[in-house]
A and B are shown apart, each in its own frame.
Chain A
Amino acid sequence: MKRWILIALLAVVVAGTAFWGYQEHQEKNAILIQAENNYQRAFHNLAYHVDLLHDEIGTALAMNSDKRLSPQMVEIWRLTSEASSDVSQLPLALLPFNKTEEFLSQIGDFTYRTAVRNLDDSPLTDKETDTLQQLYKQSAEIEQELRKVQHIALEENLRWMDVQLALASDDDQGDNTVIDGLKTVEKTVKGFSETNVESSIIGTSAENHQYNYLKGSKEISENEALRISKDILKVKDPSKIKLSETGDGADVPLYTATYVSDDRRGYMDITKQGGNPITLLKSRPVGEKKISLNEGMENATKYIKQLGFKNMVLFQSSQYDNIGAFTYLYSQDGVRVYSDAIEVKVALDNGEILGLTAQNYMKNHRERSIPKPEISNSEAKEMVNPNVDIQEEFLAIIDNDLGEEILAYEFLGVYGDDTYRIFINALNGREEKVEKLGGSEINYAMN
């Protein structure tokens, strides 16, 4: 009897220990993942800030007006400090990464000095412009190297915890890709630079006209919504469509229609007021590319015309694998309105429309009373940095920093190897926005 009690007791103890051990193990894993995530965040932030730094310096180079240059320098300065704080969070204590940090602080010093100076009285000297150019080039190199490391890290699911271990034990440092990549970054660093560019300016919508100008005053019924979605989704049997409504949090009340058949799915949002289509998304496997981007564009243009969008002009087109993405802007008497944008997605295997989003258009669109420009085209051109070789020009309505719509001359120009989009206020000649245009990068998955 005693023996059995003892065995039972032991069994309980063993089970208890096992449970405790398992819990400890779980906890340890949870903490490891958290620490890992912090490292990951710091690293990806670093890569991102260096990306931005590069773009911002590029933008600063193309700027002419000193009123914009000062804030730009401050922006670059801010980015350098963020990037160095990212570096400092990485487990690199054992790796010499100080050159990179030095580089960052050099840019920081340079931009700070120029930012606090009154640039109206003492504009950038030629030498300083040269320095800036130098920084621009060097930041490009760091950006590239960091992106390579980032790509490898993402591709192979590398863990910073492993980096730390590898750094701690000298033995197998040789084949740790992250360390090697970072060493290359360090080697590349000789000067200084970084930049910060806002993403695309399309559809920046002034908050004061959120869906205030929707077409049609009548609220549509469920049946009407069903009929509209049946037509647009091109479903024969309306009973296959599921309809739902939005809740209290929605900016504008919507009907949502979905349908599924085999490997195809359809999804669309329609405004209750007036039955305007806002989002359309179809998904299906897309086959090999058979038609050109240009044919895809023709389909897209025809399609938005059919839906009743008038005076839309193509703003940009891009091919992603076998899908074409097109952005259209509303054009009122030849003035491109950036906030009234529509995007269309076309499958390049058979030209089918796979998606449409008219959120920006629906939020903002209305007929505007456009003022006459108060400065002439050539006066506006004089406001642009003389080093920028202007190639194309438009009149446009954009949102300024305060979110107000303004009329501006839009110049597309080339400086060095980069293309810039520059907006000059057509009423007072202020340099409103300078944007460096990207749009493609090296395919790291290939090299």
Chain B
Amino acid sequence: MIYKRTSLLIIIMFTLFVVFGASNDSKTVHAFSSQVIQQGAVGDDVIELQARLQYIGFYNGKIDGVFGWGTYWALRNFQYEFGMEIDGLAGQTTKDKLVQVTNYDKAYVKKQIESGNKFTHYGGVDKNKQSSPPKSNNQSGAKQQPSNNNQASNSNQQGQATGGGPNVTAVNVPQGFSQNDIQLMANAVYGEARGEPYEGQVAVAAVILNRLESPTFPNTVSGVIFEPRAFTAVADGQIWLTPNETARKAVLDAINGWDPTGNAQYYFNPDTATSAWIWSRPQIKQIGKHIFCK
């Protein structure tokens, strides 16, 4: 009996080994995944696309894993030069052509990205000449320390930034906003509405954005948030709690155009509101505990 079980185990392990081994092999043999890559995409496929386009001189930007405008024009020029349909999409034909005419040194690129080096991937140039260690770390010794701390304590946060993954060195941000703007808003949303349903958090973020557009409020994210007596979470310091992922997602949705409030500029909690004035505003709707008004 025991013998049987052990043999079964061995068989299972063997199959697993074969399956995994095979899938590993297939990764190294085939370039790209089968997915079509389009503008806005993030990840390994994009890194390979950028590296290959750079190999033959179409792409001169940074190999950062985010399919931005630079990559888009490089890809279109490539498609133009090689007589393909110019659509700015890396579909199967385009990828096959790229694989045919370029080389991709995956190990080299991955290593450069991991060690944070500044590097390029041009064909026919000595690789040693194409990479240099990160400049900023050498410039100021004092800065090295916090950045190392960040890496250790926030390694689980990396994927949580506004986009990207473990291997890419850039992230998508909505036009007109920086990661820090998003972070600051996430802080405010978390401080103000962490107990609210998701749409209630999007709503609070939307109010901040509506104020940004209104001539009667400040024109900057921080101006709106830190305006004296504007948000209770700012006044009592709750804004400095570390926001969770939900708050950040809610902020992104609001920036990308979602506004469940119907263009509100004020909101209040009817249970705790002390100002009589706020009750006189025309009310739009209630989401969670907050009433939103014009």
Residue numbers of A with Cβ under 8 A of B are 30, 33-34, 36-38, 40-41, 43-45, 47-49, 51, 147-148, 150-152, 154-157, 174-175, 177, 180-181, 183-184, 197-200, 202-203, 244-252, 254, 256, 258, 260, 265, 267, 269, 279, 281, 283, 289, 291-295, 297, 316-321, 323-325, 327, 341, 343, 345, 355, 357, 359-360, 391, 414, 417-419, 437-447
Residue of B nearest to A286 (CB): B249
Cβ distance A446 to chain B, nearest Cβ, rounded Å:
6
Please provide the chain B residues from 167 to 202 with a CB less than 8 Å away from any CB of chain A in the complex: 168-181, 183-184, 187, 197-199, 202
Please indicate the chain B residues that have their CB under 8 angstroms from the CB of A48 in the complex. Answer: 178, 181, 220-222
* 16 A–B pairs (Cβ distance < 8 Å), ordered by A: A37-B226, A44-B184, A180-B142, A181-B143, A184-B139, A200-B176, A246-B262, A248-B283, A249-B294, A254-B262, A267-B197, A294-B89, A316-B39, A318-B174, A325-B252, A437-B69
Given contacts A180-B143, A267-B260, A294-B36, contact A440 B223 (CB under 8 A): no
Please indicate the chain B residues that have their CB under 8 angstroms from the CB of A245 in the complex. Answer: 285
Cα separation A183 to B64 with both chains bound (whole Å): 28
In the bound complex, do residue B38 and residue A156 qualify as a contact, i.e. CB atoms below 8 Å apart? no
Q: B17 near A: Cβ within 8 Å? A: no
In the bound complex, do residue A441 and residue B179 qualify as a contact, i.e. CB atoms below 8 Å apart? yes
Cβ distance A85 to chain B, nearest Cβ, rounded Å:
12
Q: B57 near A: Cβ within 8 Å? A: no
Please provide the chain B residues from 138 to 165 with a CB less than 8 Å away from any CB of chain A in the complex: 139-140, 142-143, 145-147, 150, 154, 157-165
Cβ distance B182 to chain A, nearest Cβ, rounded Å:
10
Cα separation A278 to B176 with both chains bound (whole Å): 24
In the bound complex, do residue A49 and residue B260 qualify as a contact, i.e. CB atoms below 8 Å apart? no
List 20 additional A-B contacts (Cβ < 8 Å) besides A283-B198, A414-B69, A439-B68: A33-B237, A41-B226, A44-B222, A48-B181, A48-B222, A51-B178, A175-B145, A200-B174, A200-B175, A289-B43, A292-B45, A294-B37, A294-B38, A321-B159, A321-B160, A341-B257, A343-B256, A357-B257, A439-B173, A441-B179
Please indicate the chain B residues that have their CB under 8 angstroms from the CB of A360 in the complex. Answer: 257
Cα separation A151 to B68 with both chains bound (whole Å): 22
Please indicate the chain B residues that have their CB under 8 angstroms from the CB of A359 in the complex. Answer: 257, 259
Please indicate the chain B residues that have their CB under 8 angstroms from the CB of A391 in the complex. Answer: 73, 76
Q: B63 near A: Cβ within 8 Å? A: no
Cβ distance B199 to chain A, nearest Cβ, rounded Å:
4
Residue of A nearest to B246 (CB): A283
In the bound complex, do residue A177 and residue B286 qualify as a contact, i.e. CB atoms below 8 Å apart? no
Q: B236 near A: Cβ within 8 Å? A: yes
Select which of A41, A198, A317 is within 8 A of B176 by beta carbon.
A198
Cβ distance A362 to chain B, nearest Cβ, rounded Å:
11
Residue of B nearest to A249 (CB): B282
Please indicate the chain A residues that have their CB under 8 angstroms from the CB of B43 in the complex. Answer: 289, 319
Please indicate the chain B residues that have their CB under 8 angstroms from the CB of A283 in the complex. Answer: 198-199, 246, 249
Q: B133 near A: Cβ within 8 Å? A: no
- What 5 pairs between A and B have smallest CB-CB spacing? A199-B176, A44-B222, A249-B282, A41-B226, A292-B35
In the bound complex, do residue B223 and residue A154 qualify as a contact, i.e. CB atoms below 8 Å apart? no
Given contacts A41-B223, A321-B164, contact A440 B143 (CB under 8 A): no
Q: B215 near A: Cβ within 8 Å? A: no
Q: B49 near A: Cβ within 8 Å? A: no
Cα separation A269 to B164 with both chains bound (whole Å): 31
Select which of B176, B249, B287 is within 8 A of A197 by beta carbon.
B176
Cβ distance A97 to chain B, nearest Cβ, rounded Å:
16
Please indicate the chain A residues that have their CB under 8 angstroms from the CB of B226 in the complex. Answer: 37-38, 40-41, 44
Please provide the chain B residues from 183 to 239 with a CB less than 8 Å away from any CB of chain A in the complex: 183-184, 187, 197-199, 202, 220-223, 225-228, 234-237
